[in-house]
Structures are given as C-alpha cells and as structure tokens.
Structure 1
Amino acid sequence: MALRDDAVRILHDLTRRDDATFRPGQFEAIEALVRDQRRVLVVQRTGWGKSAVYFVAGRMRRQQGFGPTLIVSPLLSLMRDQVAAAQRAHLRAAEVSSSNIDEWQDIFDEIATGDIDLLLVSPERLVNPRFRAEVLPRLMENLGLLVIDEAHCISDWGHDFRPDYRRIRELIAGLPTGVPVLATTATANERVVDDVAEQLSVRHDVPHPGVQAPSSAASSHDVLTLRGALARESLRLGVLRLASPTQRLGWLLAHLHELPGSGIIYTLTVAAAHDTAELLAQAGHDAVAYTGQTDPEERQEIEARLKANEVKAVVATSALGMGFDKPDLGFVVHFGAPSSPVAYYQQIGRAGRAVENADVLLLPGAEDKDIWAYFATASMPSEERAEAVLGALADGPRTLTQIEAAVDLRRSPLQLLLKVLAVEGAVEQQGREWALSGNRWVYDAERYRRVAQTRESEQEAMLAYERTTGCRMEFLTRQLDDPNAHPCGRCDTCLAARGEPAWYPADVPPEWVTRAQEVVSRAGVVVTPRKQWPSGLAKRGVQLKGKIPEDERPAEGRVIARLTDLGHGQTLRALFAPGPDGRPQDQPMPEALRAAIIEVLRAWDWQRPAAVVSIPSATRPELVRSTAAGIATMGRMVDLGSLDLDPTLPQPGRGNSTYRVASIWGRVRVPDAMAAELSGLDGPVLLVDDRIDTGWTMTVVARELLRAGCPGVLPFALALEA
C-alpha cells in the first residue's frame, strides 16, 4: 500500500486535484517500473494518461536515490508540453533539442551536478557525437528510468518509422541491470507491438551501481505489455465524399463555424494548407496555416493561440501531429486522407481528450492516391544507392558535402540513407565525417519488400475505411488489432444503420463553391532563381563555385502551379503521369492550360520578353515545343526555337545539386543562328520548359544564353515539383 499511496500523492501534485485516481493499468505500469524494475510497453489510446505513468514513476525512482529519467521524444511541441507538466509533479525538467542550443551547456552542467530530474531528447540527439561522449555516459551511471515515447517509431512496420529511433535498441542493450524501461504508443497493431517488445527485451549484463536483483520473479528483460481499449468514446466520426476540391473548400467555408470549439484541419500538402487557410481567413474565419516550413518561433505562437482558443482552426500538414496536447480540441477535419488508417487514428487522437464530444470528419479527394504516390519516399535504402554511398566511403571518411559530390542523391534522402546504414552498422559518424564501420553489410531485399507491401496494404485499408458501411471507430480499432473493438453507435454509419441522418450537414452552398473556385483556379507560382553554385563541382569536371554573378543569373521565374496544388495541380499531375508502360507520355500543350498560361503571363510584373526559347526535352519534346510556340503566338513574340541538345550525353539525373549541374553541363548549347539574334533583342527571352524540379536546368541554360549576348532570361514552366 505504501507504494500506491506515494504514487497517488504524486498524481495529485501532477493533476492538481486531490480526488484524482489512477485509470486501469496506470498503477500496474508504475508498480512494474518502480518495484520490479521491468520493461513495460503501454499501448493505450491518446488521452489515457501515458505521461502520468512516467512522471510518477520517474519521481518515485528519484526519491529512491536514482538518477534522472531520460525521455526520448519525437517532437518539439511534445517536449515543451512535457517540461511544463513535469514541473507540476515537482520534477526539474529540461529538453535538449534544436530549439535551445544556447542552453545546452547549462543543462549538461546541471546533469553533471545531479540537478536535473527529467531530460527530454530527440532520437537524433542519441547519435550526436558530443551528446554521446559528454552527456550519455553521465546519464547511464545512475539512470532512474528510460522512456521511449511514440514507440511505434522504433518499428519498420510503424506508420511513422524513423531510422534514428532504431538506435534506441543499442541504448537499451547497454543499460545497466535494474534500469526500468517504459515504451508508450497509441498507434500500434500486433505486428508493431511484437516488433517493439522484441527490441525492448534486449538482454544486458551491465550491473547498475548499488542495485539488487528485481524483487519480481520475472527477469528484467521480460516485457510487460499493457494494452487497453483504443476506441475514443468522445469522438464521432464521419466521411463526406464531395466531387471536387472546390466542393470540399466550399463545405469548409459554409460549415466551419458550426464545428465545436477550436480544431485542426489537416491537409496532405503545404500548398493546400496555405491555400485553405488563406481562403478561410478571407471569408472571415480565424484560420492560420502550420506546416513543416513554418518557422519554429511562429509554430510556438500558433500552438499557443490554438490552445487559448484564439483561432477557430489551424490548417496543418502532419507537422502538427504527435505530441501536440490540447485536451479540449473540439474537431479534426481532414482535407484529403492520410495514407493509412493507423496514421489517421493518430491524427484524430488530438481531439476530444477532455471534452465529452468532438467531431472528426474526413473529406477525401480523388487526388489522394496521386499525392500518396508523389510523396512516397523510401525510408529503406535501395541496394544501388546504398552501394554507391559505401563506395564513396571506401577510400576514407568523407563529409556530407563530399559524399554528395560523389553520389547522385539529394541532401535529405542522402542523410536518411546514411542514418539507415548507420543503424544497420555499415557506417558510423565521426564528428562531421562519415566512415565505413568495418562491419559486413548485406542488403536485406526481402525485408524492404515486405515493408513496401505493408505500406501498399495500408493505403488500400484507408480507401476501405472511406467506403465501409460498418462502424468507423470499430474499423479503425480493428486496424490496430484491438480485441475490444466494437461499434460506437455515434459515427455516420452507425446512425445510418438506425435510419438516422449523418451528424454533419452535407449541403454545399453554390456561393461558397464559387468563392473556393476563385482560389483554386488561380494560376501562377513564383520561382526564385539560384544564387550559389553547389559545392564539389570541380570533382565532377565543372570549374564553377561560389556565388553566381548577377549577369549570369536568370530573373525570377513563374510556373502555372505546383504538382501538389489543389486546382491546376490536378491537371498537371495527369499531364505528367507515366503511360501504361511506365514511360513518360508526350503530347501537345493541352488546350485546358491555355487560359492558365495567359493568366500567369498577364499577372507577371516583368519587362516584356521579346522572344521565346525552349529547352530541348528528351522525354516530352512535343509538349515543350508546342508550349513555347503557343506562347510566342499568343504574346506576339519571336519564336527563336529550341536550344541544341547533345544526344550522346546521358539524361540528367534527379539527384543532388552537384550531380544535377554536372549532368546538364555541356549537354545543352546555344545554336550559332540563335546566338546571332540574341544580342539584337530589345528585351529578355522567355525560357520555356515543361517543369522545374531543382531549378538547375534553368540556371545552367540561362547562363549559356546570357553569355551568348541575351539581354535577360525569364524562366517559365508548366509545373513546379515542390
């Protein structure tokens, strides 16, 4: 009883309520951690109180004389909330993240002196050389408790797999005997649970200073899994299928004010988040966009405003996800479906934690599958790319920039690949350099194939959720293998089964559709010119470096839309979709884009171009040439034709900037006849291509035109891949 009494007192401090009691499973987890020093996996719905378990257990371990609790946490928003909550439990908490670098040394000093009770770190911090050398050994000397929050990230099969999380296995393996471990998640099916439990059960034989064997008969590497019912009784779910993006935007414009309290509108793309937030704000709704491109300071401000109910809706990408805690969040609407039911369950779990009713509505789009495919990035390495990276390191350690110059991979996928290879023991980070570890590495093609198949089946399950006539909450919880799954009686399909109307209005007033159409049909995205050559070009035979001189740089450019945009993006995605044989399709410029091109050119604040030049295309020559010729005719400009293309050189890759520039270099040149006319022009040239990806093709070709005497270059393309 003494253990429970102590735990209850700490719970009262944490909740600031003298009548607070533990929910079923909470004290059992605390007891296993504090008394039995076990490893515990808690799979409970969002809002169940997983953080209360580690705050109470962490303080009790501290009272027993052990060191701080280390929490590995995925998101900055979660860290900020947890630091504040820990203080209520009389725990001195600190975070080490990219948002507080200036505070690191003071925090490290406090850890050394024993003045920190609870430390939150990101999984990336566990691989930071300084943290591993200076801080981690001190923590391990007398660690009180290790917590892995959002533990599904450990698993290849989790909907939000992260390579850095797999390093936690190494951390667990090196723990001294007697250090309890708690892993928590709300979104794990049986496959993920089994995988995480296996990783938690790694044996260790390092004695913990002054610790006796666990009092329980179970050994410390046995994993206690506590799994509760995942259904959220406060949520009522619905799916409203509307014909177009404008219909869905019109519904939001007409009915957002009817949704309870403040909430989140999730979108699949950054562009959709900004367009939707702008449209809602123009119509008088308090709405603001929140994406991965939002500055950290602005993110904090938006989160604070949402928590204070100062905005009706935050229109967000998945950047506002795990860890954001607003107990009275009144609604979650999805403008487009996530690619798996588990990811969807995780996002809707933000709502209704401390209110009796919260509304969850999915507005799926016909473009969802295209967007899933567009954003499909391999978190697993391809054998070819992995071998290329290992080959680049064969002659010794290299910095990221040096590897980039040797391997045709962009920075982000290269960093992800290096993380995966490091986790798998093939490479290791040595300060700013990466090196081969000396371990033999074999590409696990079968595992990566199985993971890819799992992702595909998750997408099919998401589509099945949209179509189901059964209970939606039951569908989601069955996807999480919840044995307690049962009909909720509240969702739109449960209501329909009783002959009752859906809880949400389905009408879309025409005037709001018209307002939405004005935004969606808007054409024109600014393309900022490149101003600096990528490093490492000399190693690829191109003698360029540093700042690009202004007289060799194109002006600001334009495209009709991004491929991920709601309106014209849909038309452009269809235009650039591969044919049945998987190869690019070529065709004349679609008549449907003519009005959009005219709109972009008319709105462009430019010096009117005197001529049009097209970039030769190996994959879509008819599309590019017909677009350039059509613009020349519409704008009464001189059509100077196409630049020359050296067919003996390979098609430019889609990798990093260094490779991209090197592959374009010398491939396209200005014909003598065109060069003779350029210097006599009384205005710039409109340089036309089908789409802009990295921007380096436009940059290199514009330099050739300018050096040939062209007065100026205005880049134009149909689409932007961003």
Structure 2
Amino acid sequence: MSIPTAGLRDDAEHLLRELAGPQARLRDDQWTAIEALVVHRRRALVVQRTGWGKSAVYFISAKLLRAHGHGPTVIVSPLLALMRNQVAAAEKAGVRAATINSGNMTEWDEIHERIRSGDVDVLLVSPERLNNPDFRDQVLPALARDAGLVVVDEAHCVSDWGHDFRPDYRRIRTLVADLGDGVPVLATTATANDRVVADVAAQLGVGGPVQPDGAGEASSSSGTLVLRGGLDRPSLHLAVVRIDEPARRAAWLAQHLNELPGSGIVYTLTVSAARDLAALLSDHGYAVAAYTGQTDPAEREQLEADLLANRVKALVATSALGMGFDKPDLGFVVHLGAPSSPISYYQQVGRAGRSTDRAEVVLLPGPEDRQIWQWFASVAFPEESLVRRVIDALDHEKPLSTQALEPRVDLNRSRLEMVLKVLDVDGAVRRVKGGWIGTGQPWVYDAERYGRLEQARTAEQNAMIEYERTAECRMLFLRRQLDDPELTGDTPGCGRCDNCTGSRWSDAVDEQEVARTKARLERPGVDLPPRRQWPTGMATLGVKLSGRITDGPEPGRVLGRLSDLGWGPRLRALLDAPDGPVPDAVVQAAVAVLASWDWAQRPTAVMAVESPTHPILTASLASRLSQLGRLQDLGVLRRRTGHPQATAANSAYRIAALVDAWETPDLSGVNGPILLVDAVTDTGWTLTMAARTLVAAGADAVLPFALASPK
C-alpha cells in the first residue's frame, strides 16, 4: 500500500503539535526518519540524545500508518515507567495505545481482544512478554503478520552488554525475522557508542555501515537508515564530590539537598541503599521516597506522579527509574555511588534539565563502588558446568516450573530465571505452559563472547574511575566514551562542569550532621515502609480494593536483611534450622530494635501472625516480647481453616489469596497500638492484609515487626 508524500509532512507537523504543544516543529532528522518508515517502509536506527524526540518519531509514524490502513505499531519497551509515559504521550495525539506488562496482568485478556478487534493503534510490550506461551503462540504471529511498524525502544539493551539485564531482548531478532513483507522497523536509543551500534545492527538487522565520522545518514543495500546526533546537553552542570566515608557522603546529601534546584532523582547502586537513604532523608524532614525494582507497580506509578507534580523533593532510586522517564523540568540528578560505566551514567543523568536552562548533576563516588560492581558481575551468566546442570535437569516432554527446578540446580531463583531465558533464546530450552522443557538441541557455551563481555565490562569500569578523577571537561569525557559523532579534536570544553569553571561543591560536612547520620544508619534494625497503593485491576479478580491504602499498618521494623553482612548469616541459619523457640540472642536484638523505634505511640499489645513455616519461632518471639515489654499477649492471629496459602509472586493475585485469610480476633479491652510479629516479610502484603484484619476488628493502629526480609 503506497502512501503519497504530498501533504504528509503537514500531517506530521500537526500530530507533533498535538503531542508537544503549539510551538513544536519537526527537526529535519525527525522528518527524515518518519518519511523513511511511512513512505519507503525502510528499517532505521536512530541514536539521539535524551529529549531529542525519538518517541515523537514512532508515535507520529504509527498514527500516519493507521490513517492509511496499516496495522498497529508494536513497541518493545523495557521499563514500566517508560510504558506509562509513552501511553500518556500517545493519548495526546489521539493514538489508541495499550500496554502488556507485569503490572497489568488482570487486563491482558481485554487488551488481547482489543487487538483482535482493531481497537489498538499502538501496543507496548515488555521483551519478556515475547516469550509468554499464550502471547508468543496466539497473539504475536498475527501482530508480526499485520503490524504496520515495529519499534525497539532503548535498543542498546539488544547489545551483548544488555544480555545480562534483559536476555529476552535478544528474542526480538525472531520477531523481526518473522515480519511480513514491507513492515518497517525502527530501533531507538540515546546511549550507544560505536560498539553498541554495530552490535544492535547485527542483532536486529537494523542499522548499517556507519560513515567514518558517524554522522548523518548511512544507507546499505538493504535500505537501512542510520541517524546519529550529538550528545552535548547544554543544561547539565556536571560535578564530582569525593568523600570516602559512606556515612559522611549521606550526611553531605542531607546537608545540601535543599540547595539543589526543584525536584530530582538521587540514584544508589543497591535496593537496600535506596531504602536506607530514603529513610535517612525522611528523618531530616525531606519529602522523599524510595523507588526500586522491588517497588510494587501501582506504587511506582504513584511515586512517578508525585515526582512529576513536585510533591516530593526527590525519589531515591535504583536504575529501575531510568530509561524513558520524562520530567522535562527535573532539576537535578545525584549519584551516591558511581554506575559501572560512563554509558550508564550518561543515560541516568540525561533525565535532568530537558526543558530548563540549568540542572545540577553531582556524583559522589565511594571506594566500595568497585566491590558492588564486582558483585553484580559475579551474579551474571554463570560458568558452563552450572548451565549444563540446568539443561540436564529438564525433561523433553514433561515441563518443570522454575520453583520445581530450583532445588535441582545450584542456582538461586533470579540467576536460574536468567539462565533459562538465555537458553531459551539460544534454543536449548523452551518455555511452555506449566514451565520449561529441554529441546534436545545442541548448545555451545560461547566462552569467546562471555570473555569479550568481561573485557568490555572491565574497560568501562576503568573509564568510570577515570571520569571521577579527570581534570578535563567532564561532558567532553562522556561524549568521547559514547563516540559522539559531532565531537572533533578541537571541540571546546562545555564551560559548565566543575573542571571547566573551577567552581566546585565543597566536600565539607557539619560534624554534628555526620554524627546524626551515623547514629541513624547504625541503629539496630531496618525500616519496613508500609504498602501505600493497591495494585491496579483488583476488581477483575473479584476484590474491591483500589487507590491508596488507608487501613493498613504503620511504618514497621525488621531485625535484619538476609543479605546483610552482620545479621544476615545468623538469620539465614535460624530460618533454615528446624522450627523451634526463639533464641535469647535474637530476643535481645529484637528488644534493641524496639527500643530504638521512634513510634508515635508505644504498643500496648503484641500478636503473632500464624506462620506456615515457623509457627513456634514466631509465636515464642511474640510471647517473649510481651513479657519483656509488659505488653498484653494476644496470642496468634490464626488462619481460617482450609484457606490456601498465598504463594503467587504477582501482587494482585497474592492479595486476592489473602482476603479473609484470618479469623477475626477478639480485641475487646485492647487500648493502643498492636505490635504484629512475623518471622519473614518479603512483599509486605501478608503484614498489610493481616493488619487490615486487626484494624477491622478495632485496633487503634498496627506496628509490624519481622525478624528478616530478603533484601
């Protein structure tokens, strides 16, 4: 179906104004890409800085293609925050968009029906969805046949470097190979050096020979288009503050956060660091919240809205808040701990200053960063013998679930899932209903590729250390690491960073602030933030819960994380041992945690949640605490007879399984908050739903306490 070019650019300009406002005008390269996709049905790779307008290219192309009778656009998008931003952007231009991801499982059937009925212009899917058996076998073939356009967003994840992060991104090769004749493909990213560009081209068949200077358009015999632009960001003011002691770095941020403009993002390297830092800054009176990969999807959406509306000073986040999150007036990005590569660093700082004249970017690296990088590298793709064990454990006909397979191999759940995904992409195993089967296909451990990955990882870590120490322009350094095509030998410094201006943040920290911070970080126990938002789609499961949680527990405490270097080993040993009475040392530590708990009102009673795995441990802990704390002992919150255990990993299904799970206790005569005790808290939903049972029975407030959390 040929689309005439006459008037097409005017139509594209009109759609852009609906997307971005009445003053918006298409860049020449944006129109070049749109014309290539819509008129010439070509494949294209667009590598442009954050904020350039890559999403406008594919939304306008999608709308134009639909207007001329072509099928829906399929966008493979890596992160929930990115999907939400994109759906909201699409609606501005009248694009009917839908998304299928882990956060909206209850809506999948409805969305599949909308796709079949032609009521969707743009479908955003996570790369993992491409290998869901139902989606892969029933929905994807029709989409590949009828799609008007396929978009691979954040395409650098396709690169070898992205395999550890998202193995399913490699599956996009199959999707592209199965496309109908003349279906254009667009790959976009802001963070790709020459190596990554070449790798994306090899993985997807999108790309082509780049001109020697890397600039402008390059074509190949296959009709591929490559558009690369400069990476300078005139609003960004880069700086590094070197403070070796972790507590002193946190104190520095607590002392200086109010000096940073507007609202922003504070990045940490680990989930636990994000939680601890958010708790510390909250204690200092800042409106902040932690945002990590373990934050529930509904709560993530609320936190993103809070940041967009400037209801918080900052989100303290891991890399889970990154690609595609769009707040044009984001005033600052601070890193407590350096990412492991300049490419990752540039991608994250690119969130700031898209529509402002100035945004502050501050890096506070630590000597422990290398250890954290090494730990993440150590849990990447395992050695060949462990991978072979996974293959050998699988039957060729009878599927095994990941949970059933886990005890048979020496890999934890997350690494096992990653290995299975890589093996699936490589054809050695296959995901089917009920779990995984072996295919019998030969599999070769690509030692050369993994060795190349290790070399690249080491080189990029060393480059990040060099960035911290360099005396040259920091923006030039980052642009060089990303092979900026507009960078030449005589390109001047940015004139904005601390090295160019000589204007630096002081590394001095008030000693009282340092002492206060150390006391907060080193006090016994770990904060247990309450769940604040119900997952979306609960009504689909017959559960009438939505919006903010108003009848849940207060903020709680945990004795220690199973991943902690201190209490972690002791707690793991305790929970791995046969169930029995709580040891004295654990009771003493729990008392220390309770003694340091700055609750608004002291509990007057204590109750244990009936534990399916550690009933004696949990009940005896509650009993001992009642004696030592002179609390009324309310015994055990009993599960209703015959009520199934909640084992689902998905929040919506887990909550549905916990509705009316406990018998209503008699709380007559109880005045004041109740301390609710459990052995382990993971998702937090058990304590949330148990607390609701107590609140419904008349409890004034519920203070949750657990011995351990996984992370």
Query: TM-score, structure 1 length as denominator?
Result: 0.70
**Partner-residue secondary structure (3-state), 2:486:** coil
Q: Would you identify which runs of 4 or more consecutive aligned residues in structure 1 move more than 6 Å? A: 216-220, 596-599
The 8 Å contact of residues 563 and 721 in structure 1, kept in 2 or not, is answered as: no
2:496 maps to 490
Distance 1:60 1:414 in 2: 43
Q: Please show how residues 15-30 of structure 1 align to structure 2 within 5 Å.
A: 15-17=20-22, 19-30=23-34
Distance 2:223 2:198 in 1: 13
Aligned mate of 2:432, from 430, 433, 452: 430
- Select between 372-381 and 239-248 the one with higher mean Cα deviation: 372-381
Kindly indicate whether residue 57 of structure 2 is the aligned counterpart of residue 68 of structure 1.
no
Counterpart AA for 1:411: R
- 1:238-282 Cα shifts (integer Å, max 9, x gaps): 000013122212211211111010001111122221221122122
Distance 2:561 2:178 in 1: 55
Deviation at 1:600, TM superposition (A): 4.1
**Partner-residue secondary structure (3-state), 1:225:** strand
Change (3 A) 1:14 1:526: closer
Distance 2:98 2:516 in 1: 47
- Select between 460-469 and 518-527 the one with higher mean Cα deviation: 518-527
Distance 1:414 1:274 in 2: 26
The 8 Å contact of residues 524 and 559 in structure 2, kept in 1 or not, is answered as: no
Aligned mate of 2:467, from 441, 465, 470: 465
Counterpart AA for 2:456: T
1:449 maps to 451
Aligned mate of 1:146, from 140, 144, 150: 150
1:689 maps to none
1:383 maps to 384
- Unpaired runs of 5+ residues, structure 2, are 1-5, 208-216, 529-556, 570-584, 596-679, 683-705
Kindly indicate whether residue 106 of structure 2 is the aligned counterpart of residue 102 of structure 1.
yes
Distance 1:363 1:597 in 2: 36
**Partner-residue secondary structure (3-state), 2:484:** coil
Deviation at 1:313, TM superposition (A): 1.0
Aligned mate of 2:476, from 470, 474, 483: 474
Superposed CA RMSD in Å reads: 3.0
Kindly indicate whether residue 111 of structure 2 is the aligned counterpart of residue 122 of structure 1.
no
**Partner-residue secondary structure (3-state), 2:232:** coil
1:613 maps to none
Distance 1:144 1:295 in 2: 33
Counterpart AA for 2:345: Y
Deviation at 1:366, TM superposition (A): 1.6
The 8 Å contact of residues 187 and 206 in structure 2, kept in 1 or not, is answered as: no
- Select between 449-458 and 155-164 the one with higher mean Cα deviation: 155-164
Aligned mate of 2:592, from 595, 603, 609: 603
Deviation at 1:377, TM superposition (A): 4.2
Change (3 A) 1:16 1:520: same
Counterpart AA for 1:340: S
The 8 Å contact of residues 48 and 230 in structure 2, kept in 1 or not, is answered as: yes
Distance 2:164 2:30 in 1: 25
Deviation at 1:441, TM superposition (A): 1.3
Distance 2:206 2:132 in 1: 23
Kindly indicate whether residue 15 of structure 2 is the aligned counterpart of residue 43 of structure 1.
no
Query: TM-score, structure 2 length as denominator?
Result: 0.72
1:57 maps to 61
- 1:586-628 Cα shifts (integer Å, max 9, x gaps): xxxxxxxxxx99994761569xxxxxxxxxxxxxxxxxxxxxx
Counterpart AA for 2:387: A
Distance 1:14 1:290 in 2: 28
The 8 Å contact of residues 331 and 360 in structure 1, kept in 2 or not, is answered as: yes
- 1:313-338 Cα shifts (integer Å, max 9, x gaps): 11111111112111110000001111
Kindly indicate whether residue 189 of structure 2 is the aligned counterpart of residue 185 of structure 1.
yes
Change (3 A) 1:23 1:507: farther
Kindly indicate whether residue 4 of structure 2 is the aligned counterpart of residue 2 of structure 1.
no
Q: Please show how residues 681-696 of structure 1 align to structure 2 within 5 Å.
A: none
Deviation at 1:374, TM superposition (A): 2.3
Counterpart AA for 1:476: L
Change (3 A) 1:124 1:601: closer
1:277 maps to 278
Distance 1:122 1:272 in 2: 27
- 1:407-443 Cα shifts (integer Å, max 9, x gaps): 2221111111010001111111121232222322111
Counterpart AA for 1:290: Y
**Partner-residue secondary structure (3-state), 1:376:** helix
1:656 maps to none
Change (3 A) 1:13 1:69: same
- 1:508-529 Cα shifts (integer Å, max 9, x gaps): 22221122121122244599xx
Counterpart AA for 1:228: G
Deviation at 1:379, TM superposition (A): 3.7
Kindly indicate whether residue 310 of structure 2 is the aligned counterpart of residue 309 of structure 1.
yes
Deviation at 1:359, TM superposition (A): 0.5
- 1:200-240 Cα shifts (integer Å, max 9, x gaps): 3279xxxxxxxxxxxx9978844311000012111010000
2:161 maps to 157
Distance 2:334 2:84 in 1: 25
Deviation at 1:137, TM superposition (A): 2.3
2:229 maps to 228
Distance 2:60 2:190 in 1: 19
2:371 maps to 370
1:31 maps to 35
The 8 Å contact of residues 163 and 416 in structure 1, kept in 2 or not, is answered as: yes
The 8 Å contact of residues 292 and 317 in structure 2, kept in 1 or not, is answered as: yes
Change (3 A) 1:3 1:605: closer
Aligned mate of 1:12, from 17, 21, 24: 17
Counterpart AA for 1:33: L
Q: Please show how residues 653-672 of structure 1 align to structure 2 within 5 Å.
A: none
1:256 maps to 257
Deviation at 1:176, TM superposition (A): 1.2
Distance 1:557 1:180 in 2: 52
The 8 Å contact of residues 305 and 311 in structure 1, kept in 2 or not, is answered as: yes
Distance 2:474 2:516 in 1: 32
Counterpart AA for 1:330: G
**Partner-residue secondary structure (3-state), 2:362:** strand
Change (3 A) 1:347 1:95: same
Distance 2:117 2:281 in 1: 52
Counterpart AA for 1:469: A
The 8 Å contact of residues 218 and 227 in structure 2, kept in 1 or not, is answered as: no
Change (3 A) 1:557 1:252: closer
1:87 maps to 91
Counterpart AA for 1:374: W
Distance 2:375 2:454 in 1: 15
Change (3 A) 1:561 1:392: closer
Distance 2:186 2:436 in 1: 32
The 8 Å contact of residues 236 and 357 in structure 1, kept in 2 or not, is answered as: yes
Deviation at 1:174, TM superposition (A): 0.8
Change (3 A) 1:296 1:721: closer
Q: Please show how residues 339-350 of structure 1 align to structure 2 within 5 Å.
A: 339-350=340-351
Change (3 A) 1:505 1:605: closer
The 8 Å contact of residues 523 and 560 in structure 1, kept in 2 or not, is answered as: no
The 8 Å contact of residues 279 and 527 in structure 2, kept in 1 or not, is answered as: no
The 8 Å contact of residues 158 and 188 in structure 1, kept in 2 or not, is answered as: no
**Partner-residue secondary structure (3-state), 2:15:** helix
The 8 Å contact of residues 70 and 120 in structure 1, kept in 2 or not, is answered as: yes
2:416 maps to 414
Deviation at 1:384, TM superposition (A): 0.6
1:296 maps to 297
Distance 2:450 2:197 in 1: 19
Deviation at 1:140, TM superposition (A): 2.5
